[in-house]
Structure 1
Amino acid sequence: MQIFEVELPGLNQRREALKRPLPEAQIATLCEASAAYQARCPFKVGDIVTPKPTSIYDHKGIPHVVLEVAPVAIRTFEPGNCYAHSFGSRLDIRVGVLVGGEVVAFWQESWQHQLYTPAE
């Protein structure tokens, strides 16, 4: 902001809201997320997946390999972390991704992933 510029309360939020899809599209996306969350993990070891475009995870569109599917999801309810996006998460797949030429592994939530399809 420059001198004499004023940011009106709520104006920034309204600008951000205008960048979002229509409420109907947002609701459809949220319903899809709910259905995916309720479903069991659809992946098996060796599947090539990538985070969904709406996922909180980095490396969207980059291939990841499913290294492990947890028989019982790892739940995160550490005290003091209730505001972290990982609080209450249901970590049910361990994925590996190439970062700087090295395979790095992460526990993540399967509902935030989809099968990888190469861009054409």
Structure 2
Amino acid sequence: MTDGSQRPTPPEGLPPKLVEQLTDCTPEELRKAIVHAQELLHYHEETELPVDAAAGDDILRVTEHDGYTEVVKEYSCAEGCDDCPHGPYLYHVTEELQPDGSRKAHWSFMGSVRTEK
């Protein structure tokens, strides 16, 4: 069981009733809810923004907003760097339509941020 004081903050615009229901779910139920939500996104022809960590990245926080996803991450560069990890840095991630009709994530660097560790 995790420390209740570390409970994640729900994204803006998520209905309070849904937040309460998700909070009461077991980890297995939450995994099933994620799968169902992804299926619903595909049903509505929405794609997810790829905010998975790239090699050397450590995503600290992801917050959904209307029109963009806020991502705070750190990254580690080449071996032997005494300053690693670098960051944390704030990015706004949007989805851009490409000429071939596909969609691609666009990461806009917003700057350094402070995080509580």
Task: State the TM bucket, normalised to the shorter chain.
Answer: under 0.3
User: Whose relative contact order is higher, 1 or 2, with alpha carbons under 8 Å and at least 6 apart?
Assistant: 1
Q: Give the TM-score of the pair, scaled to structure 1.
A: 0.26
Q: Give the TM-score of the pair, scaled to structure 2.
A: 0.26
Which structure has the greater CA radius of gyration?
A: 1
